[in-house]
């Protein structure tokens, strides 16, 4: 389950979660009735529905779903009750062996290894499943249900294991809620960043390069550059200093930082040469700590805010890669703020306020700060073993959030290994939720790197460090923006801001003259030189989401004007070139 899935109403005891968990149970029963001999894996409720993993004797496709769904509905209408029972490990293992379900047997062994002495089962009719639950009382309480798709999924999410067939579905208490959700899914398909990314020629992937490693095409690179320009200007005003660091580093640095072994599974395997092991950079923080420590610091030098547009590389499992949202190359808008304890509240608040300014700029109206804390049980294993520092730091973060009056929820046992963190959840225009930004406190790594500053009394002190990435990675953020805007970017972000459409070939010279004036005015413009009809030129420009279409013919040439057509506002009429340049220039500068 992802962070996103945990933020919404996914409490396993909520009514919606009970409905979806029960639906996955009935899905498994329906599959076993229709396809005897199928092996069954997991079947949880999720943020948007449910799924169940199967090993079929013969592969199935989406064309099999109507048949399975009909069987589910038949079982639901019988109004069976769900009955829970608890069995010993021995009884559970006998059950799994008797029904020949090896994945269930493996689950039972795993539960036994983790200290479980008794197992929970749910039965409806003559079908029993190993399941923690809870479920609704009767199958008739499931409400409205729809199977959505078939996909491949590795057993336990490990690509070394067998690939199973995952059937996705969703369920709601009422038919109306289901229909609203399905309508939203249709809109989401139109906005899918993978689909629009190809149509708008923003990015591509190629197996020769490798999975999860996007290639930015010229149009997409413009968006990347514009976001970088925005962030650097914002950070310059806020007192940040830009740095640059290598793409690789010695193992010793990551041992010092503590990322090994905490983070090793998410890093690419090391390279060995000259007697040393080197890793591809998975995070910028150790490099920035090294920069801080490269010269003596006094309290007068703090706060010191180091920012970088660095590229990091993380080994995401193949089955988890998803367009730009989950990649292995991450262009990070990253920074680290080194400050005294007295400066912490103002610095942490300023980071959150920067996020809010970005949200307003991009039209993100719904968001929540997700405050992740540690757990005592994880100290020394999942988290740095400093209980007093954990309490003090979490208290500081909680106080800033309350004083700032920003919406936040507190979630235990999900902090970074070196300190508490804020994950910023945002919702797109169609209600799609995403973890977009992060704001983390680090009380551990500065000490690991022996970072100090001299206080007013001339004594050495260890600074606090704030890790922050307000625009997430460019890959994820641009994927979000594509779907948020449905590919219709605000003018300042649009790869091609204006396209000149000559009515005939004899108007090309005038069209190119206008293009040169617009280019001189800082406007990204192209001329359609193919000689197609104006109607076709307009349709294709609209398909590529070009904000302004400038039509030129005899009348416009004579009057030294252009006929302006806007992507969403239709015809704006004839306009002088100087007025057009000012109109577009003001819109670009204001970033409306």
Sequence-ordered list of residues with C-beta below 8 angstroms from that of 470, at least 6 positions apart, any chain = 231, 333, 351, 354, 355, 358, 437, 439
Q: What burial class does residue 382 get, using C-beta atoms within 10 Å of its C-beta: 0-12 exposed, 13-18 middle, 19+ buried?
A: middle
Buried/exposed code over 64-73 (b: 16+ C-beta within 10 A; e: otherwise): bbeebbebbe
Give the distance between the most distant pair of CA atoms in the chain: 92
The number of beta carbons lying within 10 Å of the beta carbon of residue 126 is 8
25 is in an annotated binding site: no
Residues 445, 253: contact at Cβ < 8 Å?
A: no
Q: Is 467 annotated among the ligand-binding residues?
A: yes
Residue 518: CB atoms within 10 Å: 23
Q: What φ, ψ does residue 250 adopt, rounded to 5°?
A: -65, 150
Other beta carbons within 10 Å of 587 = 17
Cα–Cα distance for residue pair 407/401, rounded to 1 Å: 8
CA–chain centroid gap for 121, Å, is: 35
Q: Which helix (H) or strand (E) holds 128?
A: strand 127-130
Question: What's the rounded Cα separation, in Å, for the pair 469 and 572?
Answer: 40
- For 346, residues 6+ apart whose C-beta sits below 8 A from its C-beta are none
Single out the residue of 59, 29, 164 nearest to residue 102, CA to CA. 164
Report the SS3 class of residue 504.
coil
How buried is residue 245: exposed, middle or buried, by Cβ count under 10 Å (0-12/13-18/19+)?
Answer: middle
Per the document, the length of the chain is 592
Place of tokens 């805007």: 485
Token pair in block for residue 6: 């945990």
Flag whether 336 is marked binding: yes
Buried b (16+ CB within 10 A) or exposed e, 403-442: eeebebeeeeebbbbbbbbbbbbbbbeeebbbbbbbbbbb
Cβ atoms of 501 and 528 closer than 8 Å: yes
Annotated binding-site ranges = 285, 336, 467
Annotated binding-site ranges for Zn(2+) = 285, 336, 467
């Amino acid at each position: 389950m992802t962070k996103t899935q945990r933020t919404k109403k996914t409490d396993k005891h909520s009514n919606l979660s009970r409905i979806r968990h029960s639906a996955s149970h009935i899905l498994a029963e329906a599959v076993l009735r229709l396809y005897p001999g199928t092996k069954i894996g997991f079947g949880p409720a999720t943020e948007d529905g449910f799924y169940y993993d199967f090993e079929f004797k013969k592969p199935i496709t989406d064309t099999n779903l109507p048949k399975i769904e009909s069987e589910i509905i038949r079982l639901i209408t019988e109004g069976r009750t769900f009955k829970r029972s608890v069995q010993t490990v021995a009884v559970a293992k006998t059950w799994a062996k008797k029904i020949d379900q090896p994945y269930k047997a493996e689950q039972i062994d795993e539960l036994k290894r983790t200290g479980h002495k008794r197992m929970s089962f749910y039965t409806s009719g003559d079908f029993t499943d190993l399941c923690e639950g809870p479920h609704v009382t009767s199958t008739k309480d499931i409400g409205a249900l729809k199977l959505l798709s078939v996909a491949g999924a590795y057993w336990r999410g490990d690509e070394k294991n067998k690939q199973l067939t995952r059937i996705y579905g969703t369920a709601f208490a009422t038919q109306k809620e289901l229909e609203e959700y399905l309508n939203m899914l249709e809109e989401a398909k139109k906005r899918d960043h993978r689909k629009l990314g190809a149509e708008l020629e923003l990015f591509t992937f190629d197996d020769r390069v490798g999975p999860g490693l996007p290639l930015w095409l010229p149009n997409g690179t413009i968006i990347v550059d514009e976001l970088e320009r925005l962030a650097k200007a914002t950070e310059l005003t806020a007192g940040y200093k830009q740095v640059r660091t290598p793409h690789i580093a010695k193992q010793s640095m990551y041992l010092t930082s503590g990322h090994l072994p905490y983070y090793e599974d998410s890093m690419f395997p090391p390279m060995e040469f000259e007697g040393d092991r080197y890793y591809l950079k998975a995070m910028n923080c150790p490099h920035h700590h090294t920069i801080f420590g490269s010269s003596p610091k006094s309290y007068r030098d703090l706060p010191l805010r180091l920012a970088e547009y660095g590229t990091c590389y993380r080994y995401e499992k193949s089955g988890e890669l998803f367009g730009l949202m989950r990649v292995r190359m991450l262009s990070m808008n990253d920074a680290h703020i080194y400050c005294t304890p007295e400066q912490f509240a103002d610095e942490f608040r300023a980071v959150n306020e920067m996020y809010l300014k970005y949200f307003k700029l991009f039209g993100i109206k719904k968001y929540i700060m997700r405050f992740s804390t540690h757990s005592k049980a994880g100290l020394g294993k999942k988290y740095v073993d400093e209980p007093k520092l954990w309490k003090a730091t979490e208290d500081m973060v909680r106080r800033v959030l309350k004083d700032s009056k920003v919406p936040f929820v507190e979630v235990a046992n999900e902090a970074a290994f070196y300190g508490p963190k804020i994950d910023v959840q945002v919702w797109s225009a169609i209600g799609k939720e995403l973890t977009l930004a992060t704001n983390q406190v680090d009380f551990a790594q500065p000490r690991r790197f022996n970072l100090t500053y001299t206080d007013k009394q001339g004594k050495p002190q260890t600074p606090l460090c704030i890790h922050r990435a307000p625009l997430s990675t460019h890959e994820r953020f641009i994927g979000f923006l594509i779907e948020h805007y449905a590919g219709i970017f605000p003018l300042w972000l649009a790869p091609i801001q204006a396209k000149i459409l000559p009515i005939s070939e004899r108007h090309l010279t005038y069209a190119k003259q206008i293009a040169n004036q617009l280019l001189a005015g800082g406007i990204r413009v192209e001329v359609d030189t193919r000689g197609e009809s104006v109607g076709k030129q307009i349709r294709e420009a609209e398909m590529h989401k070009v904000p302004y279409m400038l039509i030129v013919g005899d009348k416009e040439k004579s009057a030294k004007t252009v006929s302006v057509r806007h992507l969403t506002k239709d015809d704006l009429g004839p306009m002088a070139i100087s007025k057009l340049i000012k109109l577009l220039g003001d819109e670009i500068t204001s970033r409306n």
